[in-house]
Structure 1
Amino acid sequence: MMPQVVIVGGGMVGLSLSLMLAKANIRVKLLEAIQYPDLSESELHHYHSSFDARNSALSRRSVEIYNKLGLWARLQEYATPIRQVHITEEGGFGKARLLAEQENVENFGQVIENAWLGRVLLSEVKKNNLIELIDGIEVTALTQNEKQVTVQAKRKQENIQIQSQLVVAADGRDSFCRQALGVDASVHDYEQVAIVTTVQTSKPHHHVGFERFSALGPLALLPLPGENRRSVVWPVKKGTEEQWLGSENDQKFLDALQHTYGGRAGKFEKTGKRFCYPLSQVLSHKQAIGRVVLMGNAAHTIHPVAGQGFNLCLRDADVLVRFLSNHLKTSEDIGDQELLKAYEQARLIDQQRVIKFCDTVVRGFSHQNPVLKFVRNTGLIAFDIIPGIKPIVATYAMGLKA
């Protein structure tokens, strides 16, 4: 029996999309190049905080999506709400604050450790009868005609051919599928590398998230489970990252955080292992190509400055599943090309708004010219005091105007 949807790429976007499709009673074949680790259900019931975990800030819309899937009750144990957001610039006079209570919401979103989010998603996929998971498989070719898409793949010494009416390519920034389809992408290198880790501070975080712009780069500090644990995402100039990596540089990294952030968190006492990855903006020129849809970083890779990338991908997935579900009520062709083009068009406004916002913030705060710095700080004050601006920004940040 032909699977209704094949997903190439089993990262968090691919895992989430497969569960959304299964919830809509659509069969899925999920292909992932990496061999997943064995995962026993018992591992999900013993939470141990890790100083090596990467993290995601889930908007309220993203939380709603996982709640619809019946997963939020399990995920919530590993999540921490953001109830305030503070925006400042090192050496500047301006500041802006968003308070959840003033916006009449319980929180702006939740920060969750990716290791635990991934474990819950993977365990749900493995036990779902509508999802066939094939890991350790490499896609080697992708072709299509008017009626179907053919995926050629290799698993160990076995050559595999899979056919489907619809393929969703969620295989990352350097998507093989996008290249196999001959789709170009616009690439902008920010000349930055993101340093990612978890730290412990002497003062509790009180559910406050900070965006602190500095000469080194925009520092994001977000609350994590445990009153004194915080997630760090710190984009720095490419070529300078080695001085912040390695256990021998732990104290140097903590001292740099202390200098940039000040004493609001008390003392930065402990840091986990630092990960790093280069930052660029990669925007596919097309997202619906015949019977193939590009999703996740394959469609749009954006700067993490506002923590919007994964949330945008989840909204894409949610809308795609809605389009497919409605279409299947009157047609058996789930890969109808006009349907997929309509989906692509429906997502453009939300995508373009988020992409432009993130890019503008990065470029706007990257210059240390005193005049520009004065303008930026004046803008932060205006944002903080002019009525009517904060609710608009908060609504978009929560993903509720998609």
Structure 2
Amino acid sequence: MSDVVIVGGGMVGLSLSLMLAQANIRVKLLEAIQYPNTEESSLDSYHSNFDARNSALSRRSVSIYQELGLWDRLKNYATPILEVDITEEGGFGHAKLLAQEEKVESFGSVIENAWLGRVLLNQVRQHDLIELIDGIKVTALHQTRQSATLTAEKDGKQYVFDSQVVIAADGRDSFCRKAVGIGADVHDYDQVALVTTVQTSQPHQHVGFERFSPLGPLALLPLHGHNRRSVVWPVKKGTEAEWLGEDNDQHFLKALQHTYGQRAGIFEKTAPRFAYPLSQVLAHRQVAGRVVLMGNAAHTIHPVAGQGFNLCLRDAHVLVRYLSQQHIKNADLGQSEVLLRYEQARLKDQKRVIQFCDSVVKGFSNQHPILRLARNAGLIAFDRIPGIKPLVASYAMGLKA
């Protein structure tokens, strides 16, 4: 019997498996997709199943990867955020957060998922306490008082895995969540996120921008390389075809320039755009017997503030602490009281982040003149009233979880 089986080998599943292994807990990691070969030395030649998106890692997330001994490798492709600039297109409000004023080295770092995924995957493959099985599909999940049992298929063969705990990190449409009878509330934002990388005529100077526009909230974040920036732009569902494809490169750059203004100079080039549907999916529970939901299986949230992955890492870090305490005592890792205590311990942080992201999306989507006036006045108040910035910054950095 395994100590822990993780279903889902995305960035959350990979990170969690390394945290557990560091606590001397044996892990089986099951992933439905066949992983690529990541032995190439050059990132330029790397084509992975980790998508084109980028992750804004909070200071707390950075510290987690430091604990895992991975940050020295990750930071080679990570770009610190030293300033956050918040505005609304056509509005007078303006708020700014400066790392120097908040007396921190940075607010966090932006890293390309392809590089983060590669580093995590290589580390997992090298770890003696992690058995990685990719290209395998889970078909059944059953529990008893003593164990949890997964049935899976690979290359036409059936496999059975018994474990003390199953951690379901298998995405917002989680098979495991449905298998244990946990429902979920789903809210469709009627948006898709346009994701790409652009090159600008002026260097990014480590500034991250949140620009609210009638098309949707535009996040422009600094990337590795002085003139490269990550773009995440939620737009109305059904309009994405207007922005995708090489034929629309100049159309996209023109819209970006109009929305963003001249702060970056000229938007010179764009990589291919990808579109991801946006919805909020919140599981009714996160623990059922010996099964724990993790990552998007537990809570999928809007990317407007870049908090989703950071929240998942904090969940994983706390869960490992509870399981490690059981492991040290040679006690049952899947003890119901322990897993339920973990769930309870995470609710406050989760609810705060989820409500914040949802309120920002809804609050800035309405273009009524009175609401626009109130929003811009609020940005000025945020920028000038003492004591607000440090509190918001500490939450954004994951230091008040």
TM-score w.r.t. the length of structure 1 is 0.98
Give yes or no for the alignment of 1:261 onto 2:260: yes
**Cα distance per residue 1:78-104 (max 9 Å; x no partner):** 100000000000000001000000000
SS of match in other structure, 1:103: coil
Give yes or no for the alignment of 1:316 onto 2:315: yes
**Cα distance per residue 1:322-375 (max 9 Å; x no partner):** 111112222420111110000000000000000000000000000000000000
Task: Determine if contact 2:38/2:46 at 8 Å carries over to the other structure.
Answer: no
Task: Determine if contact 2:216/2:365 at 8 Å carries over to the other structure.
Answer: yes
State the distance in 1 between where 2:329 and 2:276 align: 45
SS of match in other structure, 2:190: strand
Aligned to 2:304: 305
State the distance in 2 between where 1:77 and 1:301 align: 29
Task: Determine if contact 2:52/2:274 at 8 Å carries over to the other structure.
Answer: no
Task: Determine if contact 2:295/2:309 at 8 Å carries over to the other structure.
Answer: yes
Give yes or no for the alignment of 1:108 onto 2:107: yes
**Cα distance per residue 1:175-198 (max 9 Å; x no partner):** 000011111100000000000000
SS of match in other structure, 2:328: coil
User: In structure 2, which of residues 36, 42, 60 is the aligned counterpart of residue 46 of structure 1?
Assistant: 42
**Which runs of structure 2 are paired with 1:375-390 in the superposition (5 Å)?**
375-390=374-389
Distance apart, 1:137 and its partner CA: 0.3
The one-letter code matched in structure 1 to 2:62 is V
State the distance in 1 between where 2:44 and 2:265 align: 24
Aligned to 2:397: 398
Distance apart, 1:174 and its partner CA: 0.3
Aligned to 1:15: 14
Aligned to 2:87: 88
State the distance in 1 between where 2:45 and 2:272 align: 14
**Which runs of structure 2 are paired with 1:249-398 in the superposition (5 Å)?**
249-398=248-397
Change in 2 beyond 3 A, CA 1:50/1:194: farther
Structure 1, gaps ≥5 residues long: none
**Which runs of structure 2 are paired with 1:163-182 in the superposition (5 Å)?**
163-182=162-181
**Cα distance per residue 1:36-71 (max 9 Å; x no partner):** 01221xx2x434499994210000000000000000
The one-letter code matched in structure 1 to 2:42 is H
State the distance in 2 between where 1:363 and 1:32 align: 35
The one-letter code matched in structure 1 to 2:382 is F
Distance apart, 1:3 and its partner CA: 1.2
Task: Determine if contact 2:172/2:299 at 8 Å carries over to the other structure.
Answer: yes
State the distance in 2 between where 1:83 and 1:185 align: 37
Aligned to 2:132: 133
State the distance in 1 between where 2:156 and 2:190 align: 40
State the distance in 2 between where 1:50 and 1:238 align: 31
Deviates more, 1:325-334 or 1:199-208: 325-334
RMSD, matched Cα: 1.2
SS of match in other structure, 1:119: helix
Aligned to 2:152: 153
